[in-house]
Amino acid sequence: MAFTLEERQQLNIHGLLPPCFLSQEVQVLRILTNFERQASDLDRYILLMGLQDRNEKLFYKVLTSDIEKFMPIVYTPTVGLACQLYGLAFRRPRGLFITIHDRGHIATILKSWPENVIKAIVVTDGERILGLGDLGSYGMGIPVGKLALYTACGGVKPQECLPVMLDVGTDNEELLKDPLYIGLRHKRVRGQAYDDLLDEFMQAVTSRYGMNCLIQFEDFANANAFRLLHKYRNIYCTFNDDIQGTAAVAVAGLLAALRITENKLSDHTILFQGAGEAALGIANLIIMAMQKEGTAEDEAIKKIWMVDSKGLIVKERSSLTLEKKRFAHKHDEMKNLEDVVKDIKPSVLIGVAAIGGAFTKEILKDMASFNKRPIIFALSNPTSKAECSAEQCYQVTQGRGIFASGSPFDPVTLPDGRTLYPGQGNNAYVFPGLALGIVSCGVRHITDEVFLTTAEVIAQQVSEKHLEEGRLYPPLMTIQDVSLKIAVKIAEQAYSNNTASFYPEPKDKEALIRSQVYSTDYDDFMAESYAWPQEAMKIQT
């Protein structure tokens, strides 16, 4: 409906469309009107995914028109429900579904994908979707949602992105009995066969798309997440968002909080509720940040405590993983989080165990009694898994709590009249800008320093006014600008430390990055349409 009369005549579609000409802005208005008419957030998700299938330009125009409004729909928390009901919401496949039975043929499957240039892949095996557990093939909603944010928040071109589901089965009995389930109907395959599938996949991707193709691992179970990251990080251009992306956004929030507490990160005692991928990733990046302040590594480790499903992690505990042993201190065993908080007296409490309500009123009161400005991060997703709400934190601490969450919470007005806007520690602040920077200059191996740099850039975008409002992150409406700054800084570092592979080195790194950014306007599409009138007809009608 946006084609002019001349364009319709040239494309030989005049008469096949109603005579009215609608601008892209009017089309956005139509989508927004239909969006508001939907009865639930799941219906809104389905509406937007349908738009993505038939008109990508308009889809991203809508998302970027109000990213703060649409991000909770296309990603957390609504995407969690969408994944649980993926069989019901399924309309049209997006991305590639590769199964354990496709071993030996993955290269052929990749060739069936119509795009020859892929710069970024998000891949999952569906075993640990958000805080919801094993959703098998229903987990495809996560790579699709992540890559939508690659484009909406970072400007990575959608045609250069590929979501992948590695289906090795599921141990979720409800899904195996579900007639609508779209995945393999058998238990998860593990061991050598699983490893062989991953090895073949990584090799096939780089053979087809090159060593510079970014591969983001998403929502793998703890046992595989760390192992695969260590196995592949120095061979391929890869990272694990649950470990490293979560670490970057959490540390960004902590760095911003330091401007309120007016001290150093190494002055704090940090307690984690959880000791999985997210907790360990955050803890390791905190150590790096403390070392940058001048604190020795062993002293930094002493500042960090962790509680898992068995209680406080201590040296006397048997059967600790190598990653957990690093944070096991000499201390009596303790089971209850409230008791641990009373004993350790942390100044920073971080929840990443997906145990809804874990930060009880008693815990929040204790945190407020130990600290003038307690730092409380309830980072678990979706909202139902949050350790506490923003309102609970602010009310119990009488507005002194420095709060951030993984899922969005509404502003809270305190009895004294102040209104606080809780910061959402969403990984979307990290991976779109990081990906844009990586693919723009051809970084082949992603180091932990990249994530600390990303955290620093995000924290720098938080103004004094934001801090006064309770925000530890820049407003989501500025996320495209934040992503651009992250990408430019990554490119500058890559060329300064010789990790970039695209030469000659551009004099103006920002101009290079901006030239890579996707345009949501129809103008670019119109110019391309004349060469492919049938494709234009398919998309526009």
Selection from 116, 109, 124 nearest residue 79 by Cα: 124
The C-alpha atoms of residue 54 and residue 24 are separated, in whole angstroms, by 14
Note whether 166 and 241 are within 8 A (CB): no
The C-alpha atoms of residue 222 and residue 240 are separated, in whole angstroms, by 11
SS (H, E, C) 262-277: CCCHHHCCEEEECCCH
255: which 2 tokens? 């760095």
Count of CB atoms situated within 10 Å of the CB of 442? 18
Identify the DSSP state of 158. Answer: G
Residue 503 is among the residues annotated as catalytic for this protein: no
How far apart, in Å, do the first and last CA atoms of the chain sit?
Answer: 8
Q: Is 185 annotated as a binding residue?
A: no
Q: In what order do the strands lie in the sheet with 304-308?
A: 311-312, 304-308, 270-273, 348-351, 375-378, 402-405, 423-424
Q: Is 218 annotated as a binding residue?
A: yes
Identify the DSSP state of 196. Answer: H
Q: Is 456 annotated as a binding residue?
A: no
Identify the DSSP state of 405. Answer: E
The C-alpha atoms of residue 412 and residue 390 are separated, in whole angstroms, by 7
Which one of the listed residues 45, 60, 75, 429 is annotated catalytic? 75
Spatial neighbors of 43 by CB under 8 A, at least 6 apart, are: none
Q: Is 134 annotated as a binding residue?
A: no
Q: Is 219 annotated as a binding residue?
A: yes
What's the one-letter identity of residue 334?
A: M
The C-alpha atoms of residue 365 and residue 45 are separated, in whole angstroms, by 38
Consecutive H or E run containing 261: helix 246-261
Note whether 118 and 212 are within 8 A (CB): no
Residue 119 is among the residues annotated as catalytic for this protein: no
Which one of the listed residues 57, 119, 146, 303 is annotated catalytic? 146
Q: Is 242 annotated as a binding residue?
A: yes
Known binding residues: 128, 218-219, 242, 381, 426
* Active site residues per annotation: 75, 146
Binding site, annotated residues for a divalent metal cation: 218-219, 242
